Amino acid sequence: MNPPRKRPNVVVTRRLPPAVETRMRELFDTRLNHDDKPMGPTELAEAVREADVLVPTVTDEVDASILAQAGPNLRLIANFGNGVDNIDVQAALARGITVTNTPGVLTEDTADMTMALILAVARRLAEGARIVPEDEWAGWSPTWMLGRRITGKRLGIVGMGRIGQALARRARAFGLSIHYHNRRRLSSRTEEELEATYWDSLDQMLARMDIVSVNCPHTPATYHLLSARRLKLLRPDAVVVNTARGEIIDETALARMIEAGELGGAGLDVFEHEPSVNPRLVKLARSGRVVLLPHMGSATEEGRVDMGEKVIVNIKTFMDGHRPPDRVLPSML
């Protein structure tokens, strides 16, 4: 008889929904982070030394120096999240560590939030929502709190993966015309279905859009993709929305241009140095031309449970000796 297989030692770096934590404890020898404090380099190094499987989130910087301290048992990093820019995937793969993520289950929620930010900036939702509770409403006026119409405007989507396409579907329903730039052009069938126009040149697309939404992953190739030079190509009343990663936009250049009236505004859910936010953007948010959210694009109860389920399936499949469904491959980086 084979000896019973040892349950894997799984270290989870943040609190997850109770149903997910309970199931993980049933299946694995799971170490939870009860006080939910983000782990610093010392705690992360300790976690990778002891774990067979690490379950990090966007708040964990699993870089090459952390991975260099991994113990011989660390075989899988099952990221609780879609983006894997918090992990040095190349360094992990070089050490024979498999990396997985949670694609698909946060697509609709993130696309909803992107659409909400487009509306919030164009129709001044955040400003308006402050006025009644702060007792500042003197009554209706025909010339007060005027935003900009959405219908008939051009939306340029930078990164037409799952989330970009889900956004395109929503935006069509709001009467926007859809334009996109992507590493790979979509099939003509999908383009027709989304009524989307492909731009091979990002620069040319940017110069013609009323609203630009960033929906690509953060990789070395997309770092500051919306650079100061590219932001200058935008129309002076254009709005920029980002629910992907802060690093994709040069935030300082963005803030400078909005301050100078060279851009219409921005709606941002993600920032380069989370949780700190560029003070110039914060100041602009007080004046109303910028709407800032604390990285809550995928924050729904259902989404978090689905993400947890994906993490569990990835770990279980891997531990059973099979290829986990959501492996991150070098070609995706």
Footprint of ligand 8YV on this chain (CB under 6 A)?
Answer: 57-58, 80-83, 106, 297-298
Active site residue 274: yes
Residue 17: cis peptide before it, omega within 30 degrees of 0: no
Please report how close the Cβ of residue 80 comes to ligand 8YV at its closest, in angstroms: 5
**Residues paired with 54 in a beta bridge:** 11, 77
Using an 8 Å Cβ cutoff, are 144 and 196 in contact? no
DSSP-based three-state secondary structure for 87: strand
Query: Please, is 333 exposed, middle or buried when counting C-beta atoms within 10 Å of its C-beta (0-12, 13-18, 19+)?
Result: middle
Amino acid letter for position 160: M
Minimum CB distance to ligand 8YV smaller for 67 or for 106: 106
For 200-228, b where at least 16 C-beta lie within 10 A, e where not — what string? Answer: eebeebbbebbbbbbbbbbbeebebbbee
Task: Please give the backbone phi and psi of residue 95, each rounded to the nearest 5 degrees, phi first.
Answer: -90, 5
- Residue 74 C-beta: closest distance to ligand 8YV, Å: 19
Confirm whether 295 is a catalytic residue.
Answer: yes
Q: Which of 75, 295, 309, 327 is catalytic?
A: 295
User: What are the tokens at 94?
Assistant: 């070089």
> Any idea of the CA torsion for 222, 225, 227, 232, to the nearest 10 degrees?
180
Among 80, 24, 27, 87, residue whose Cα is nearest residue 55: 80
Q: Measure the CA–CA gap between 57 and 80, rounded to whole angstroms.
A: 5
Shortest Cβ distance from residue 295 to ligand 8YV (Å)?
Answer: 7
Min. distance of Cβ 224 from ligand 8YV in angstroms?
18
Look up 26 and say whether it is catalytic.
no
- Among 308, 272, 271, 312, CA closest to 291: 271
- Of 250 and 269, the one with the shorter C-beta distance to ligand 8YV is 269
List the one residue out of 6, 39, 24 whose CA is nearest residue 78. 24
Taking the least distance from each CB to ligand 8YV, the nearer of 115 and 209 is: 115
Q: Which is nearer to ligand 8YV, 83 or 164 (CB)?
A: 83
Q: Which residue is nearest to ligand 8YV (CB)?
A: 81
**Least separation in angstroms between CB 217 and ligand 8YV:** 8
Minimum separation from the CB atom of position 56 to ligand 8YV (A): 8
Pick 8 or 308: Cβ nearer ligand 8YV: 308
Which residue, 185 or 295, has its beta carbon nearer to ligand 8YV? 295
Of the candidates 192, 195, 274, 302, the residue annotated as catalytic is: 274
Q: Give the full edge-to-edge strand order of the sheet including 53-55.
A: 29-31, 9-12, 53-55, 76-78, 98-100
Catalytic residue ranges: 245, 274, 295
